[in-house]
Structure 1
Amino acid sequence: MSEIFEQIDCGVNVQSIIETDDCRVMRLSDSSGDGTMTLYQVFPGVFLMYNDFHMKQCVSGFQTDLELLCIDHCREGRIEQEAGKGAYSYLAAGDLRVDRRINHSGQVTFPLCHYHGISIGFHMKVAAKEIPAYMKGFSIDLYELQKKYCSDPIPFVIPGEPAIEHIFSELYTVPLKIKKEYFRIKVLELLLYLDALELSGHTEERPYFFKGQVEKIKAIQAFLTEDLTKTYTLEELSERFDIALTPLKNCFKAVYGTPIFTYMRTYRMNYAAALLKSDKNMKVAEIAGIVGYDSPSKFASAFHQVMGKTPLEYRKSFV
């Protein structure tokens, strides 16, 4: 399908399962789950890929000698990748990332156990010639864009904003019969946006957290979710895991997307929702106790805030 992927080694855990003249579907399988990558060739040297992963982590065997420029949009979930020298970066829902795929191999983690988004890739040598040939008068210089966003080996992240949402939201609902031409229009629109964007005021400094910190945060998450009947203060967690309060709070939010207490409330309610659905004979008060609530009324209120329904309404919706 795409000549780009004939020159890229995606790793032994990636297999091509369907291929047509303009589309390829690949599956990534790992012990924690699997994912699919659906690729379309947009122009010669340009691909658009839908990413859908339901897994906790995987190993990326990505290798290539091609000079690439890649743009990733996260629609849902969260992705963690090593940014070099033992530091980790995060792409959150709504974010846009621009990089050259220099640090794209190794361990990849999905802290929320799922990730959905779009990647657009440019083989620089081919795309820089083919896009202007297709679109007469299109003056965007891919090499200038690469210089603008990729002067640092660490991926460049633009936090979610309305213009990015506008460009990508329509790509998730494209009618099949107009896909190819619509992809071309949206790729050109994205390049125009990135070319015109004034970086000052449209980016934010996001700290990169080092391996030791991230490992402690993941140990804290595992500890907190092991027994939902117990609760701990930040001070207790800080002392138990030997991490200062400020990096504890900042790193947890970077890894999991929300502060600790917000994360745990959502985790408890999702766990309760699974019990309400799977065991119709279990009483609501019993489920409330399992997820750490002595008061069924407080549990019902928290459940409604997170799930949008009372526990009984939620259970009845699956009858």
Structure 2
Amino acid sequence: MPVHEWRDISLGWKTCSTFRHSSYFPTGFYKGLSLAVYVPKAQAAVDAFVGKNSIDLEEVCNRFCTANGVGLVKDTGRLKELFMDLYNVPDVLPEVYLRVKCVEIFVLLGTLTCESGDEHIYFERAQVETIKRIHDEIYNDLGNHHTIEALANRHRISMTALKRCFKAVYGITIYQYVKRCRMNFAAKDLVNTNDAILEIANRWGYENGSKFSSAFKQIMGCNPREYRVKNKMLN
């Protein structure tokens, strides 16, 4: 029964055909973890801590899993804190600490109820794979302009599905993603080369220097010239 952080917390049986055994987060920094649970042994540990028949791990997982075998848990704040505690394992009695924290997570999950409604949207694996291919095409050709319509036609997906699924997988819209990637690469060029700012702007899809400067400032917090001076001095 793996439990891992994706948006909030997702739960699913590893034997489920729609369960993803790996995550794909190429958009930037990602910090998260997966907790794989062998229910028979974990159930015995939970029973030892809180008493028999207090929490049924199998029931907890089934409670949140939908028809496709995977479900999302709305983070209560405390749930996030418990997962964050797993990043700060003390040197003294680390195994005991981890065991206690895992039991705390199970106990909290046992108190939560499954939310009904259409708050969470699920996508077929084939659709997600298509979005990943679209991402790779965009990422490997950031200097050129890619329209939603052209991408959708090329990959045989509707424009609506493309926009919704891309945002669900990568957390931001295609436009925001392309802009962020372009500015990250432009920032590296500003520091690592002596190329003219307009030349760097052209390289990453901007013909107009003022538009590039405005976009750069939105992402990096300062204009390209200021960024270059400040970071070259640091280097």
TM value normalised by structure 2: 0.79
Q: Give the C-alpha shift of residue 308 in structure 1.
A: 3.1
After the TM superposition, list the runs of 4 or more consecutive aligned residues in structure 1 that deviate by more than 6 angstroms.
104-107
SS of 2:72 mapped into structure 1? strand
Q: Does 1:110 align with 2:24?
A: yes
The one-letter amino acid paired with 1:298 is K
Kept in 2: contact 1:209–1:251 (CA 8 A): no
- Distance verdict in 2 for CA 1:162–1:312, change over 3 Å: farther
* Unaligned segments of structure 1, at least 5 residues: 1-68, 74-91
Kept in 2: contact 1:158–1:202 (CA 8 A): no
Kept in 2: contact 1:159–1:204 (CA 8 A): no
Kept in 2: contact 1:269–1:306 (CA 8 A): yes
**Correspondences of 1:218-233 after superposition (within 5 Å):** 218-233=132-147
Alpha-carbon separation, structure 1, partners of 2:136 and 2:35: 34
Match of 2:188 among 262, 274, 291: 274
Q: Does 1:302 align with 2:233?
A: no
Alpha-carbon deviations, 1:257-287, whole Å to 9, x = none? 21110111111111112222332x1222221
* Higher RCO (CA-CA < 8 Å; seq separation 6+): 2
Q: Does 1:127 align with 2:59?
A: no
Aligned counterpart, 2:13? 100
Percent sequence identity is 33
Aligned counterpart, 1:243? 157
The one-letter amino acid paired with 1:297 is S
Alpha-carbon deviations, 1:51-93, whole Å to 9, x = none? xxxxxxxxxxxxxxxxxx22112xxxxxxxxxxxxxxxxxx3x
SS of 1:266 mapped into structure 2? helix
SS of 2:2 mapped into structure 1? strand
SS of 2:189 mapped into structure 1? helix
Pick the structure with more helix per residue: 2
Kept in 1: contact 2:216–2:222 (CA 8 A): yes
Q: Give the C-alpha shift of residue 178 in structure 1.
A: 6.0
SS of 1:177 mapped into structure 2? coil
Q: Give the C-alpha shift of residue 302 in structure 1.
A: 1.6
Kept in 1: contact 2:3–2:35 (CA 8 A): yes
Q: Give the C-alpha shift of residue 289 in structure 1.
A: 1.4
Match of 2:99 among 169, 176, 184: 184
Q: Give the C-alpha shift of residue 98 in structure 1.
A: 1.3
- Distance verdict in 2 for CA 1:162–1:263, change over 3 Å: same
- Distance verdict in 2 for CA 1:227–1:143, change over 3 Å: closer
Aligned counterpart, 2:197? 284
